[in-house]
């Protein structure tokens, strides 16, 4: 009899502890449902190949539920070609097609630079958690997935298609072929936002912009260097990605 009572009491004590564990962690100190939010962010590419992007965005969103929100993000990316791209271009330009060195060439993939961009998407944040910062300060966070689409303005400067070459003591290209276009983009992200107070959260995410790549193949370099800017075959060449790490802050209203 005593044993049964002891086990019952002990079991209830454990049950109470389990309840506390669950309830406490489930209580959300920071509730976002029904709130509007504005999020300035800055994004840069963790790995660069031919282009670099520094994306300044502002997002405006509405939290339909604690776990679901709609967001519009827009902004402008400062871009440039990497030193690797410039080195490739310089070395390739030095190979004179008039002397028989590689008279035709295909342009490179993933060379478009995204400038103005606007995407709309849905954010799903099924995870709400707390972590212990320096063993003292509980930090509340949400983990989320984001998916959406929109449009962006792209520009592109070829690194193999030069329409005005100066072949003196040193070889210089005075005019690389440049193009620009508006194109649809898809965007997906995974991220965290760490609440700092009821009115804001620090935001960290990995975001991918996906767009249709397009470039020329079979470029006649001799014709190109004589000023012909339409040699070769232009066309869609599959999908390309711009992956950025975004750091920002969200203000809730």
The residue within the footprint of other proteins, chosen from 34, 129, 218, 235 (CB under 8 A), is: 129
The residue within the footprint of other proteins, chosen from 60, 116, 131, 239 (CB under 8 A), is: 131
The residue within the footprint of other proteins, chosen from 128, 161, 211, 252 (CB under 8 A), is: 128
Candidate ranges 72-80, 88-96, 149-157, 176-184; the one touching other proteins (CB under 8 A): 88-96
Q: Does 6 bind other proteins (CB under 8 A)?
A: yes
Q: Does 182 bind other proteins (CB under 8 A)?
A: no
Q: Does 10 bind other proteins (CB under 8 A)?
A: yes
Q: Is 10 helix (H, G, I), strand (E, B) or coil?
A: helix
Give the count of residues interacting with other proteins (CB under 8 A).
55
Q: Does 27 bind other proteins (CB under 8 A)?
A: yes
Which residues are bridge partners to 195 per DSSP? Answer: 201
Q: Give the up-direction half-sphere exposure of residue 209: CA atoms within 13 A in the CB hemisphere.
A: 32
DSSP letter at 106? P
Q: Does 239 bind other proteins (CB under 8 A)?
A: no
Q: Which is nearer to other proteins, 116 or 239 (CB)?
A: 239
The residue within the footprint of other proteins, chosen from 64, 143, 147, 204 (CB under 8 A), is: 143
Q: Does 23 bind other proteins (CB under 8 A)?
A: yes
Q: Find how far residue 219's CA is from the centre of its chain.
A: 31
- What is the greatest pairwise CA distance in the chain? 104
Please, are residues 51 and 110 in contact by the beta-carbon 8 Å criterion? yes
Tokens representing 183?
């194109």
Question: How far apart are CB 60 and other proteins at their closest, in Å?
Answer: 25
| Burial class of 144 by CB neighbour count within 10 A (0 to 12, 13 to 18, 19+) | buried
How far, in Å, CA of 154 to CA of 171, rounded? 28
Q: Which is nearer to other proteins, 161 or 209 (CB)?
A: 161
The residue within the footprint of other proteins, chosen from 126, 199, 218, 235 (CB under 8 A), is: 126
Q: Find how far residue 45's CA is from the centre of its chain.
A: 7
Q: Does 9 bind other proteins (CB under 8 A)?
A: yes
Q: Does 26 bind other proteins (CB under 8 A)?
A: yes
Q: Phi and psi at residue 49, in whole multiples of 5°?
A: -110, -80
Residue 177: other Cβ atoms inside 10 A: 21
Report strand pairing: 68-81 vs 104-105: unpaired
Q: Does 91 bind other proteins (CB under 8 A)?
A: yes
Contacts to other proteins by CB under 8 A: 2, 5-6, 8-29, 46-47, 49, 67, 84, 88, 91-92, 102, 105-109, 126-136, 138-139, 141, 143, 160
């Amino acid at each position: 009899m005593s044993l049964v009572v002891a086990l019952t009491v002990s079991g209830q004590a454990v049950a109470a502890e389990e309840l506390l564990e669950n309830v406490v962690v489930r209580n959300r100190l920071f509730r976002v449902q029904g709130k509007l939010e504005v999020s300035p962010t800055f994004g840069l590419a963790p790995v660069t190949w031919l282009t670099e992007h520094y994306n300044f965005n502002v997002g405006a969103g509405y939290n339909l539920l604690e776990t679901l929100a709609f967001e519009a993000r827009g902004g402008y990316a400062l871009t440039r070609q990497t030193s690797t791209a410039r080195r490739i271009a310089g070395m390739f330009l030095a190979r004179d097609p008039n002397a028989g060195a590689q008279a035709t060439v295909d342009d490179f993939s993933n060379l478009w630079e995204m400038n103005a961009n606007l995407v709309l998407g849905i954010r799903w944040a099924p995870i709400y958690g707390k972590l212990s910062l320096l063993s003292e300060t509980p930090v509340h966070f949400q983990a989320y997935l984001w998916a959406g689409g929109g449009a962006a303005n792209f520009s592109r400067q070829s690194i193999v298609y030069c329409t005005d070459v100066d072949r003196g003591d040193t070889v210089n290209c005075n005019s690389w072929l440049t193009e620009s276009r508006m194109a649809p983009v898809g965007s997906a992200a995974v991220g965290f936002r760490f609440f700092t107070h009821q009115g804001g959260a620090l935001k960290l995410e990995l975001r991918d912009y996906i767009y249709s790549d397009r470039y020329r193949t079979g470029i006649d370099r001799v014709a190109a260097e004589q000023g012909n800017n339409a040699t070769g075959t232009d066309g869609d060449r599959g999908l390309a990605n711009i992956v950025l790490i975004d750091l920002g802050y969200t203000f809730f209203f």
